[in-house]
Amino acid sequence: MNVVFGDFLISTDRLKLDFDKIYQLLSMTYWADKRPVDKVRKSIEHSLCYGVYQGNRQIGFARVITDWATTYWLCDVVIDSEFRGQGIGKKLIDTIIHSEDLQGLSGFLGTADAHGLYEQYGFVKDDNRFMVRRPQI
């Protein structure tokens, strides 16, 4: 899947993914800054990945984990700080939720600070139903 908008491209083409750039972007987030490189690599290998590009330069990333039948989990959504505030993240979320592969599936995500963004795309905050079990490290 490829979506062109302005000078940018959103693509699910795995051959375009720049692992080093993705690792750099994730290492600057509050949720993945301590994630080991091998876990980042494995997570990418087992997910539907969306890259955002300006020319050949990767400037954004998102992962979707899914069973392809009932649910998907949207995670690791990140845009290079140099490109934030231009609507690129919004276009990425819009592209993902309207992806043919994800139509008819329930979408889930976790965020500490971007509830307003995701609410624009139909995600609803629900503190009463969801539980988390984190690995003991």
Q: For 15-35, how does the pLDDT look when each residue is reduced to its tens digit (9 = 90+)?
A: 999 999 999 999 999 999 999
Q: Are 62 and 76 in contact (CB under 8 A)?
A: yes
Q: For 86-128, how does the pLDDT look when each residue is reduced to its tens digit (9 = 90+)?
A: 999 999 999 999 999 999 999 999 998 888 899 999 999 887 7
Q: Are 60 and 52 in contact (CB under 8 A)?
A: yes
Report field, pTM of the whole predicted structure over 0.75: yes
Distance CA 132, CA 59 (A): 30
Q: Which DSSP string do the residues of 11-58 spell out, in sequence order? A: E--GGG--HHHHHHHHHTSTTTTT--HHHHHHHHHTSEEEEEEETTEE
